[in-house]
Amino acid sequence: MTLKLISAVLLFSFTILLGLNAQVPPVKLRSATDNSTFELKKERGKFVALHFLLKTECPFCIKHTRDYFSKAKTLPNVRQVFIKPDSELEIQAWAKKLSPGEQAQFPIYRDPDAKLADLFKIPNGYRFHGQVVHYPATILIDPKGKEVYRYVGKSNTDRLSFEALAEKVKEFNR
């Protein structure tokens, strides 16, 4: 590896480490699938997994959310929050692929113009369905409101598995 590449890798790693265990910004989201809102400050005392889904129609987002929906009860101390940057109407159309029970239990929250994704410094620039979008990501917030883990996918199929998230939560509970 060249010195320039090594320096870039170290700088990127250092930047990521600085972000971890830092207090996260205030988060307040409105659901596109029901009348609920999500406020991070109200979730103190439990872990929160923020799942940033892709903008656009993505079958892997549906698969990812369904997998988490079906297993969420096995992690009762983790609030699963699913976020899409699409318009309210686009999210509602996308959510019709979910069962009414899934929609009732897990609202899909809006991140208009991906402002929250930008605030969390989730990389942008992934080309998908003719659009440039943010990469899919999961951010884990601890019970004190600090970011303790993040996973940013490299493509629309690269997501943090439920099992990997469960392992991380177990690791942070030790």
Q: Give residue 146's domain range.
A: 24-172
- The dihedral sign for the CA sequence 32, 34, 39, 40: negative
Tell whether 2 is covered by a domain.
no
10 part of a folded domain: no
In tens digits, what is the pLDDT along the chain, a chain of 174 residues? 443 333 333 333 333 444 555 678 889 999 999 999 999 999 999 999 999 998 877 788 889 999 999 999 999 999 999 999 989 999 999 899 888 888 888 999 999 989 999 999 999 987 877 878 889 999 999 999 999 999 999 988 899 999 999 999 999 988
Residue 174: both structure tokens together: 């030790």
Does the residue 4 lie in any domain? no
Which amino acid is present at 174?
R
Cα 110 → chain centroid? 12
Neighbours of 158 (CB within 10 A): 12
- Asked if residue 96 belongs to a domain, the reply is yes
d(CA 75, CA 172): 13
Residue 104 sits in a domain whose CATH number is: 3.40.30.10
- Is there a domain that residue 77 lies in? yes
In a domain? residue 18: no
Q: What is the pTM of this model?
A: 0.84
Residue 150 falls inside a structural domain: yes
